Amino acid sequence: MHDVDTAPDSPRGPVVNRRLSQEAFRQLTAGNVINQHRIRDGEPESNPLFQELYKERDRYYVEAYANMGMELVQRPGFFYVRSLIEDDNEDPASSAAIRPLQGVLLVLGRGVLEAGYMFDLLTTHDAGASQELLEQIGESPTMRQILAACYIDRPLPEAAKVALVDRHIAYYNARGHLVLADAGKAFFNDIFREEPGEVSK
């Protein structure tokens, strides 16, 4: 067994699964999030990458990522990394990396409600937004304006895949419908704490 490394100088030191640690690093540095749950055989289950980061977060991973110039951030239900290099002129909430994510989530939330659905459609594993519904939402002139303001020049179904699914912020269920993952739910809550009137318009 070569997957597990234990600190030789401390019986209470961190116990790190090398394989999971390396895969988590690859995912995080590629700009993806690591959710508490993953989809396997069409059903949600506990994500071993999340559990690996969680169990040794304070004893090993926070410092390890900091030594590489990154902050390992844990939010309710997911992990992500961000640079430790401070830039007083940059607002993380409106950065180029975050703006498309915010735009797609804003359009999804408003669009689902305006189409007559409950917001739970986006967060329930067996429900989700169909490709037809995404196309319908994306055809709205108002929604196109929101996407354009967030520098998104592609149809909503494609934008959702690039901004959300490819970064593990959302996923497709067995029916091919779009569902928000743990991170998607948390990001969405953040956006609408900042924009309290948006979802009710």
pLDDT score of 19: 97
- DSSP tally for the chain: helices H, then strands E: 8, 9
Structure tokens at 164: 């959300």
pTM of the complete model: 0.83
Sign, CA dihedral 72-120-102-171, equals positive
Cα–Cα distances in angstroms (integers) from residue 5 to residues 49, 121, 134, 148, 174, in the given order: 16, 43, 46, 48, 37
Under DSSP, the state recorded for 75 is E
Please report, in angstroms and rounded to a whole number, the separation of the first and last CA atoms in the chain: 57
Point out the residues of the chain with pLDDT beneath 50: 1-4, 6-10, 88, 91-94, 196-201
Please tell me the distance from the alpha carbon of residue 164 to that of residue 102, in angstroms, as a whole number: 10
pLDDT score of 85: 75
Amino acid at 70: M
pLDDT score of 195: 53
CA-based nearest residue to 167, from 25, 34, 21, 24: 34
pLDDT tens-digit map of 77-120: 999 999 887 654 554 433 567 888 989 999 999 999 999 999 99
Q: 121 with 73: CB under 8 angstroms? A: no
Instruction: Give the contacts of 65 (CB within 8 A, at least 6 positions apart).
Output: 71, 72, 81
CA-based nearest residue to 60, from 10, 1, 105: 10
Backbone angles phi, psi at 59, to 5 degrees: -85, -20
pLDDT score of 194: 59
Under DSSP, the state recorded for 118 is -
Q: 171 with 181: CB under 8 angstroms? A: yes
Q: Give residue for tokens 């019986």.
A: 11
